Amino acid sequence: MIEQLEELKTRALEELARIQDLDRLEEWRITYLGKRSELNQILRGIGTLAPADRRTVGQIANDVKSVLEGESAARRAQLEQIAREAEIARERVDVTLPPRPIARGQCHPLSLITEEIVAAFRALGYDVVEGPEVEWDKYNFEMLNIPAEHPARDVWDTFYVKTTDGIPQGQVVLRTHTSPMQIRVMQARRPPIRVIVPGRAYRYEATDATHESEFYQIEGLAVDEHITMADLKGTLTAFAHAVFGPERRTRFRVDFFPFVEPGAEMAIDCHACRGSGCRICKNTGWIEIMGAGMVHPKVLEGVGYDPAKYTGFAFGMGPERVAMLKYGIDDIRLFKTNDLRFLQQFR
Ligand code: YSA
């Protein structure tokens, strides 16, 4: 039996030395150390031996068992280490490879120009407010001194919104300009007021290179005691210098809007030809950029302000047109076609 144990030990250790993977090692364990292994049978049979042999054989059998257990544990540790190293080698990442470029989004040119215009007015102390695009006729026209049937309504080709819930037809419009926000702001606040209102406006107009039926406007309003036309000119000239450059000259000429008196149109000298006349300025040397004026006393009265105490100025411009002038874009429709070759030029 002692010989059998020695032979078993030698055989098991030789086999163990040849094992190269963990599955095979498990098979080996079952064969040599498992419940039904030869060694286990010997151990179980020890009780049947003569008492004198029992001790010696038991001692040797237990030694064989602990040698096999120790050696197989060492082999297992070795094989696990090899497997780990192989896995690490398989998953190796070459950190020196250049990364794939990340596609970055960017702001739309209209967002950029709007931010630039808004920043110019913020620097002058203006708040930014926004208002509804679906508007009451009362704010879009009536309270801006444009009563029903007034010929000035023809200037704004209006989309009327179908109404329900007992609201009479013709009372709700898609705002044709951002000017109704003048009324909403004056009703909600008391002077001094200085606000700038970017937002969408809608007109029932045929689309061409300079017109869309859905476009943006940026409205401005300042109301306080002692505001004069000089404040209007100073403010709008500061804006033109901030957005178009400090060397720009400005020109104010009389214009008519029912909600201002006097009304003005503001132009800047053409940046392309420096005022000498070219295709962009239609040979006039000047480019018109916005409507403006002193808030009409009737408009002030309409919101409960005393025109003897308060005066103010207002203005409205189209950021698409400002962007077109600044960047030399010749068709307003380019802003909406989503052509990346166009959009990626503005960062
Ligand atoms: C005037 C005086 C004030 O005290 C305050 C505001 C105004 C502006 C007035 N509410 C208004 O809407 N004037 S406007 O009809 O001449 O439009 C102003 C600007 O909006 C235009 O200069 C143009 O840049 C832009 N715009 C108008 N219709 C457009 C358009 N842009 C693109 N497509 C259209 N269909």
The conformational region for residue 127 under phi > 0 = left, psi -120 to 50 = alpha, else beta, is beta
Q: Residue 280 has what pLDDT?
A: 74
What percent helix, strand, coil does the chain show, rounded to 5?
45, 20, 35
Q: Is there a domain that residue 203 lies in? A: yes
Position in ligand 1 atom list of the atom nearest CA 176? 12
d(CA 152, CA 36): 106
Q: Is 203 a catalytic residue?
A: yes
Which of 153, 178, 215, 335 to probe ligand 1 with, by most ligand atoms within 8 A of CB? 215
312 closest CA partner among 164, 144, 191, 170 = 191
**3-state secondary structure string, 135-183?**
EEHHHHCHHHCCCCCCHHHHHCCCCECCCCCCCCCCCEEECCCCCHHHH
Q: Is 215 in the pocket of ligand 1 (CB under 6 A)?
A: yes
Are 19 and 83 within one domain? Answer: yes
Q: Model-level pTM? A: 0.73
Which of 159, 290, 313 to probe ligand 1 with, by most ligand atoms within 8 A of CB? 290
Which value, to the nearest 10 degrees, does the dihedral of the CA atoms of residues 200, 202, 205, 209 take? 10
d(CA 207, CA 144): 26
Position in ligand 1 atom list of the atom nearest CA 288? 22
Q: Is there a domain that residue 217 lies in? A: yes
Q: Is there a domain that residue 98 lies in? A: no
Are 43 and 182 within one domain? Answer: no
Q: Residue 165 has what pLDDT?
A: 85
Q: Is there a domain that residue 96 lies in? A: no
Are 305 and 166 within one domain? Answer: yes
For each of the chain's 347 residues, which pLDDT tens digit applies?
888 889 999 999 999 999 999 999 999 999 999 999 898 998 888 888 888 888 888 898 899 999 999 999 999 999 999 999 999 989 888 888 888 888 888 899 999 999 999 999 999 999 999 999 999 999 999 999 999 888 878 777 899 999 988 888 889 999 999 999 999 999 999 999 999 999 999 999 888 888 899 999 999 999 999 999 999 999 999 999 999 999 989 999 999 999 999 999 999 988 778 888 887 778 998 988 999 999 999 999 999 999 999 999 999 999 999 998 888 888 899 999 999 999 999 87
Nearest CA to ligand 1 atom 29: 211
Ligand 1 centroid to residue 20 C-alpha, Å = 83
Q: Chain-centre distance of CA 228, in angstroms?
A: 40
d(CA 13, CA 15): 5
d(CA 142, CA 130): 20
Are 193 and 75 within one domain? Answer: no
Catalytic residue among 29, 173, 217, 267: 217
Ligand 1 centroid to residue 169 C-alpha, Å = 26
Are 40 and 130 within one domain? Answer: no
Are 114 and 201 within one domain? Answer: yes
- Is 291 in contact with 265 (CB distance < 8 Å)? yes
Are 84 and 118 within one domain? Answer: no
Q: Is 41 a catalytic residue?
A: no
Position in ligand 1 atom list of the atom nearest CA 322? 24
The H-or-E segment that residue 192 falls in is none
User: Strand, helix or coil at 72?
Assistant: helix
Ligand 1 centroid to residue 177 C-alpha, Å = 7
Q: Is there a domain that residue 246 lies in? A: yes
Catalytic residue among 29, 75, 175, 177: 177
Q: Is there a domain that residue 100 lies in? A: no
**Greatest C-alpha distance within the chain:** 130
d(CA 18, CA 4): 22
Helices and strands in the chain: count of H runs, count of E runs:
11, 9
Nearest CA to ligand 1 atom 27: 318
Q: Is there a domain that residue 301 lies in? A: yes
User: Strand, helix or coil at 58?
Assistant: helix
Q: Is 201 a catalytic residue?
A: no
Q: Is 314 in the pocket of ligand 1 (CB under 6 A)?
A: yes
Are 184 and 248 within one domain? Answer: yes
108 closest CA partner among 119, 120, 116, 99 = 116
Q: Residue 23 has what pLDDT?
A: 92
Q: Which residues contact 293 (CB under 8 A, 6 or more apart)?
A: 232, 255, 257, 259, 260, 261, 262, 263, 264, 313, 314, 315
Are 85 and 113 within one domain? Answer: no
Residues in the chain, how many?
347
Catalytic residue among 136, 156, 175, 299: 156
- Is 71 in contact with 13 (CB distance < 8 Å)? yes
Q: What is the domain extent for residue 134? A: 109-343
Q: Residue 233 has what pLDDT?
A: 97
Residue in the structure block whose two tokens are 């009780």: 47
Catalytic residue among 260, 295, 299, 322: 260
Q: Residue 230 has what pLDDT?
A: 97
Structural domain tally of the chain?
A: 2
Nearest CA to ligand 1 atom 32: 211
Are 60 and 149 within one domain? Answer: no
Q: Is there a domain that residue 230 lies in? A: yes
Domain CATH number, residue 203: 3.30.930.10
Are 197 and 247 within one domain? Answer: yes
Q: Residue 137 has what pLDDT?
A: 95
Q: Is 260 a catalytic residue?
A: yes
Q: Is 217 in the pocket of ligand 1 (CB under 6 A)?
A: yes
Are 173 and 217 within one domain? Answer: yes
Q: Residue 54 has what pLDDT?
A: 86
- Is 258 in contact with 144 (CB distance < 8 Å)? yes
